[in-house]
Chain A
Amino acid sequence: MAEFLFEDIFTVTRLDPDGKKFDRVSRIEARNEQFNVYMQLDVATDVYPMHAGDKFTMVLVPTLNLDGTPDSGFFTQAGRKTLADKYEYVMHGKLYKISEDKDTSTGQNAKVEIYASFGGLLMMLKGDPSSAANFELDQRLFLLMRKV
């Protein structure tokens, strides 16, 4: 069984916080309740429309193979059963940066930000350091999403 690097249920709070800049891509702001994880994600709304208030589950995995064999990095023709079958929206990309939250000097628990790019569609995930434990720099990631 493939290991999930991250799994959670989010609610879209806002669409395009800086104004709509692109026709077919929107940036969504989403957060969950229990972990207080905050996320910004570019979604190709042309093929997978999203609206404020939508609730969705999101998973980050290193491979789509059900048995957990590592992803080869090369695309193989579909046909086999994969993890993607259970989800509606799947993206592939790369984790390129991990950083600490810049303004946590006030105390509180330090937050860690994880940045990934899915061929230019960017993701920023902000959460507790523990949620970032499984991530590594330059890791290949699959992002799977399903509305609930």
Chain B
Amino acid sequence: MARPEEKLRCTKEPFIEDVGTRRIKSIRFSMFSGNEVRQSAEVQVWNSRIYNQDMRPVPNGLLDTRMGAANKLGECSTCHGSFAECPGHFGYLKLALPVFNVGFFNCILDVLKCICKSCSRVLLMEKDRLEFLKKMRNPKAEPLQKSAIMKKVRDKCKLSRCPWCGFINGVAKKGRAGLIILHDCSKTLDGSTEELRDALSHKKEKLSISAVRMLDPATVLSLFKRMTDEDCELLNLGDRPEKLIVTEIAVPPVPIRPSVFVAGGRMSNEDSITVILKSIANTNSILKENLQTGGQFMKCFDCWQHLQLQVVEYINSDAPSLPESQHRGLVQRLKGKTGRFRGNLSGKRTEYTGRTVISPDPNLRITEVAIPILMARVLTYPERVSYYNIEKLRQCIRNGPHKHPGANFIIQPDGTKLHLKYCDRRIAARDLKYGCVVERHLEDGDIVLFNRQPSLHRMSIMSHRARIMPWRTLRFNESVCNPYNADFDGDEMNLHVPQTEEARTEALMLMGVQNNLCTPKNGEILVASTQDFLTSSFLVTRKDNFYDRSSFTLLCSYLGDAMENIDLPTPALIKPIELWTGKQLFSVLVRPNACTKVFLNLTVKEKIYKPVKDRIYKSCEAMCPNDGFVYFRNSELLSGQVGKITLGNGKKEGMFSVLLRDYNSHAAASCMNRLAKFSARFIGNHGFSIGVDDVQPGEHLNQQKKNKIDEVYKECHDLIASYSKGALALQSGCDAAQTLEHKITGVLNQIRDAAGNVCMNTLHWRNSPLIMSQCGSKGSPINICQMVACVGQQSVGGHRAPNGFIDRTLPHFPINSKTPAAKGFVANSFYTGLTATEFFFHTMGGREGLVDTAVKTAETGYMSRRLMKGLEDLSVFYDQTVRNASGGIVQFLYGDDGMDPAKMEGEDGKPLNLDQLFMKVMATCPQRGQNTLSPDEILQILNDKLSEHDASSDDGCSEKFKQLLTDFLEDRIKLLKTTRRALRLDEDHVGKDSSIAESVAANISGISAKQLQVFLDTCLSRYHSKKIEAGASIGAIGAQSIGEPGTQMTLKTFHFAGVASMNVTLGVPRIKEIINAAKKISTPIITAELLSGKDVLSARIVKGSMEKAVLGEVAEAIKIVLKSSQPNMVVKLDMQCIEALHMGISADSVQLSILNHPKIKLKSEHVRVIDKAKLRIYPAAMDKSKLLYELHNLKSMLPKVIVKGIPTVERAVINKTGNRYNLLVEGTNLLAVMGTPGVDAMKTKSNHIMEVNRTLGIEAARRSIIDEIQYTMNSHGMNIDSRHMMLLADLMTYKGEILGITRYGIAKMKSSVLMLASFEKTAEHLFNASYSGREDQIEGVSECIIMGIPMQLGTGILKVRQRLDHLPEFKYQPDPIIA
């Protein structure tokens, strides 16, 4: 009795990835032969006319209806589809004579170079041929290697006599103009040609034989046809070579070249492809006629040439052999930003998208976005009708498309779509059934993607929850401005609505604002309070802010929307009157009621924090008189006025970061929501504005400013005076003018700083700009100073204002004036107003800034694009390795520890901030009378814990982390010991008795067993939760993390590296140099450590031996001695100078250097050493007439001979760091510097990556890339996790040579043709791929996007396998004995 099979019924069927019946696995590029073109075509095109008189397409014309519909009105006569349905069909055009395909022209030339022009065999000896063939057939050879072999074959094919048929071959080369291949035999003549020439010279007519013959396409075609298949293989041809030559043109379908009627349908506008094809058809018919009628040879030939040019134009209208063309050829359609690859295949236009102006709304949650009703009525979501939502959807249907919670369409289960505008909505609502899909309007809580361009990092597009609101703008909480880099000065943003439940879930989980509070760049928090939120928090937590019961409760009610319970704390002041403080209010904000189990513990030093200096009664940091030390203990604000460092973005120790790490994103987000609501409401009532009185300087300030300016002006005048007297002491490596500039700039910059300090100290605390600058919401002391006191020195290109007139900046000043005012110092403030000249200087500075921004956006944009293309397919696999799309390993363990940079808490990418965590554990887990541990017990517990399984090295924690933990606890033990020493207790043993001193010591720094246990457990579990997840597309993240900060870098190139006058390229140009793997960098600097680094003298000696000295510098005299017997030159060395500078030059060494000089061609007998300091040089030429000339030539050359040092070293500067000296060597040749005696080669570094690679190898180069990028970023105040740099460096070096992230480097890294074609040089890559028959496995990111296939990254890394057929039936009995 079989029960009827009862299937489990789900409301939603399990998701089965729709792979269709066929999935594109790979693409092979090849060429079409004429035959294939003909076979795939529907119609032959030969008529050059397009339309007949009554504007119907001419049969066999270019718009023949068999090739598809030409516009919306037409119909395809092959498949009878309309313009929208029929994709079109190909036609073909038979050419009367073959022509070259311009894209393959170089390939054709290469093939011709290799084959015999008579028998079409490869011009190689049999032995070579077999060897190359073996190499080419190697199954492991990559396409790149194969084309390299092909190049070798080409270079080897230099035989002039064909080994097969004995034909004498010349060189095949490109003709001067147009697409012409010449066969030049002039150099490979033998006797027979001489004979021929002799014979010809007897003839009367002037006949000359030319050894140069033209290889026309028809000849080439016949040559190619005779090639053997084996030879094709040898030449890396993927297909028959005759396909390189065009005999038939495939005429593309009409719909891709639509024809538009103008002037009332009497004329038509044709696509440029149609126009070119039309002229080809025209020329072709003329040529055919000429050939058939037997026209003149030259006429036919010209016509053929013309046809050739037109076919070239059709394929590539920018080809160099063409005159200017107005048309867009096929290549032009593909390439470039708006071409098919980048414009249509890699990025597509979508539906369910909106865009409008944005505005702020602090009352929204940070995860929300307000969408105007107008938009919500157009953007829809297809919701399936079920038991739970049928009533809601019925109401939506009744409302229809025009009333907001409405719907636009109903899709019946049979697939019919019903538009609610044109039907009876009541009936539609009544007839609604389960299983229908209703395209309803967007409603509150729907998931949308929100984006602002430029999308520089992944936080530029995040998923929000919709909130439908009236009016016309998209609104969101100001806290989310940062990740989008948005402001509200007219910015617009985009909105996308995911259309399936799966897409929604993925968007919410991966792209939700809550899950993207931190940037993966370095783990800093990005979504955080800004601007007014900071100001009002700062104001409210001021120490002398007191509220009585009514105002305190009012402020508490600002926190939420009356949805939350709030526990009123005990007032801080009970008598004489009950008063609450602002800090208590802030504590309520962090933890509004006892049910909120959030215990915030952190300490932060705010901007206004000043350490208490030399007082007898030194007290702890919290007692800061400015109240700048923020101390939260168990969600209670104990001290400190909160500001940007506590609440703002870009910090790891801030309040929201701690909430996020210690609790979860919800805790941080809800706190941000409360703060936003409270701040907006508070500051609305409190009022905060700025006026003229805010920037009026006081009497005291004016006086101080005047004194300072007078003082500095005097100093400058003194400097100028000593400069003009020539008495200025030079700085190392500078001339007098540079020294003067340095000194004056240094002095002038002091003015602004000094004035700024005075401003900050003297302004009243209620001054709005001061408040804003103190809390960090807007503006810096310099901004205040410029408004109130003094605008300061204007700089253009890092220097004072340049001379726009002859020897002066402006005609208002005397010539050669170097006074502060004449070189762009603005002594006035914006309040007092600028004088005419000051104003002019100020605009010069301003203009530079504007130009800078404009230039750098383009520059960094291109850099980001290249980085992205280089790194896009790198991801973490389940075995923790980082691999590219084809499975090649780039890193064995991501970032050497497999940690996720977005989750790092500590500085410099350390996984945890142990100080903060320890404080939290101590505060949330009180001792409660438990005994504290002795130092030995602490270490014992730590070691026990670390030896447990989940902490062991193999798949537990890294050694580095263990070390970090041990070091931290050892510090704690040290603290414990000092406390016990101070209290006169035994340092190592904790007494069990409860004496007063013991209990005090326990209170001060004791750790109980429980506390330590909790601390270690938290550390380990948190460490494990910070591992990077498999599938993470860290390549893309890394590219964004390096590219995005680039946009913030000012283009300011130069910077001092320790020593004045030593410039290092920084900023975007330097990053560019590094990732381009530039062979020549603008400022190569070698940092040489010295073996005896404490001694200046030895540093000087080493410096002397490195810096190059030319003969002219060390010679006392170089004289010409004219004697009748043997005129010569005498060089006398300045031995005194040489010895004083420890140069170690002698006449012998000079002799050697002269002989080794490449341009002076003298032999050892010509240069004679007379004594220690004297040389005699005889000119080499024996010819008397040239003797004098030779001598003078020598005289001009000799002073430039390098006699000492490293020729490539420009100069070396001694640099003092700490108490050690090292040398900064400007120039290249690391090897020579390392080999210089006295240099510690082990510690010597260079910033020239290619040179490091040459001298020290690839691993050193990798390290050097990481360090250099890190250094450049750090010197711009940018902090990037080193794991990103490691990945980039590994990608650049993993092939064994340094590959730049440029089109050449990327071509060597990636194997995919489509990816390379979508990057740069689209046509070139496509033509080469089809020449060699490349196959593209669709596995990388770009390829998958182009083909519309889900990529193997992120959530796409895993495939769910499910069994769709029935399970085999189990038999619950033994198998029958007899089957």
| Interface set of A (CB-CB < 8 Å, partner B) | 17-19, 21-25, 27, 29, 38, 40, 42, 44, 46-48, 64, 73-75, 84, 87-94, 96-105, 110, 112-113, 115, 117-122, 124, 126, 129-130, 132-133, 135-138, 142
Contacts and interface: CB of A to CB of B under 8 A. Distances in A.
A71 B617 CA distance: 33
20 contacts: A18-B612, A24-B546, A40-B617, A42-B543, A73-B570, A87-B575, A98-B1003, A99-B620, A100-B1004, A104-B982, A113-B619, A117-B622, A117-B631, A117-B636, A119-B581, A119-B583, A120-B541, A120-B639, A121-B572, A122-B623
Interface of B: 541-544, 546, 567-577, 579-584, 612, 615, 617-620, 622-623, 625-627, 631, 633-634, 636-639, 765, 923, 926-927, 978-979, 982-984, 996-997, 999-1000, 1003-1004
B574 A91 contact: yes
Given A102-B618, A124-B619, A75 B568 contact: yes
Given A113-B620, A120-B638, A90 B568 contact: no
Contacts of A27: 625
B1011 to A, nearest CB: 12
Nearest to A92: B570
A90 B573 contact: yes
Given A18-B625, A121-B572, A124-B619, A110 B982 contact: yes
Given A99-B620, A119-B584, A133 B543 contact: no
Select the residue from A29, A101, A102, A119 with max chain B CB neighbours within 10 A.
A119
A142 B1285 CA distance: 55
B623 A24 contact: no
Select the residue from A44, A47, A84 with max chain B CB neighbours within 10 A.
A44
B620 A115 contact: yes
A120 B618 contact: no
Given A42-B543, A97-B620, A124-B619, A75 B569 contact: yes
A129 B996 contact: yes
A110 B978 CA distance: 12
A75 B637 CA distance: 18
Contact of B543 (A17, A120, A129, A136): A120
A44 B573 contact: yes
A64 B578 CA distance: 15
Given A21-B625, A138-B634, A44 B546 contact: yes
A124 B997 CA distance: 19
Given A97-B622, A130-B996, A121 B543 contact: yes
A57 to B, nearest CB: 14
B653 to A, nearest CB: 18
Contacts of B636: 94, 117
A74 B575 contact: no
Nearest to A25: B544
Given A75-B568, A84-B574, A89-B576, 15 more contacts: A21-B765, A40-B619, A44-B544, A74-B567, A96-B631, A98-B1000, A110-B982, A112-B1004, A119-B572, A119-B573, A120-B572, A126-B617, A129-B996, A130-B996, A133-B996
B579 A112 contact: no
B623 A40 contact: yes
B766 to A, nearest CB: 9
A61 to B, nearest CB: 12
A46 B580 CA distance: 14
Nearest to A31: B617
A75 B567 CA distance: 10
Contacts of B982: 100-101, 104-105, 110
Contacts of A133: 996, 999-1000
Given A40-B619, A119-B583, A120-B584, A92 B1003 contact: no
Contacts of A137: 926-927, 1003
A96 B576 CA distance: 25
Contacts of B581: 119-121
Nearest to A117: B638
Given A97-B620, A121-B543, A88 B575 contact: yes
Nearest to A140: B570
Given A97-B620, A101-B982, A24 B544 contact: yes
Contacts of A73: 570
Contact of B1004 (A42, A89, A99, A105): A99
A120 B638 CA distance: 5
Contacts of B573: 44, 47, 89-92, 118-119
Contacts of B617: 29, 38, 40, 126
Nearest to B631: A96
A43 to B, nearest CB: 10
B572 A21 contact: no
A22 B567 CA distance: 29
Select the residue from B577, B582, B583, B1000 with max chain A CB neighbours within 10 A.
B1000
Contacts of A120: 541, 543, 572, 581-584, 627, 637-639
A22 B571 contact: no
Contacts of B631: 96, 117
A41 B442 CA distance: 58
Nearest to A124: B619
A40 B579 CA distance: 21
A115 to B, nearest CB: 6
Contacts of A122: 622-623, 638-639
Nearest to A145: B575
Nearest to A112: B1000
A99 B923 CA distance: 15
Nearest to A136: B1003
A147 B543 CA distance: 24
Given A112-B1000, A113-B620, A122-B622, A94 B638 contact: yes
Given A92-B574, A112-B1000, A120-B637, A47 B579 contact: yes
A90 B626 CA distance: 24
Closest 10 CB pairs of A and B: A119-B572, A120-B583, A18-B625, A24-B544, A119-B581, A117-B638, A90-B575, A22-B544, A90-B574, A25-B544
Contact of B984 (A29, A47, A84, A110): A110
Contacts of A124: 619-620, 623
A48 B576 contact: yes
Contacts of B623: 40, 115, 122, 124
Select the residue from B574, B620, B978, B997 with max chain A CB neighbours within 10 A.
B574
A96 B572 contact: no
Contact of A132 (B574, B923, B1000): B1000
Contacts of A29: 617
Nearest to B574: A90
A133 B979 CA distance: 15
Contacts of B620: 97, 99, 113, 115, 124
B465 to A, nearest CB: 36
A84 B541 contact: no
Contacts of A90: 573-575
Nearest to B1001: A100
Nearest to A128: B996
A133 B954 CA distance: 48
Contact of B544 (A23, A40, A92): A23
Nearest to B923: A138
Nearest to B608: A21
Contact of B575 (A84, A101, A115, A129): A84
Contacts of A110: 982-984
B576 A88 contact: yes
Contacts of A119: 569, 571-573, 580-581, 583-584
A69 B932 CA distance: 29
Contacts of A24: 544, 546
A47 B634 contact: no
B1000 A129 contact: yes
Contacts of B619: 40, 113, 124
Nearest to B634: A138
Nearest to B995: A133
A92 B572 contact: yes
Nearest to B619: A124
Contacts of A126: 617
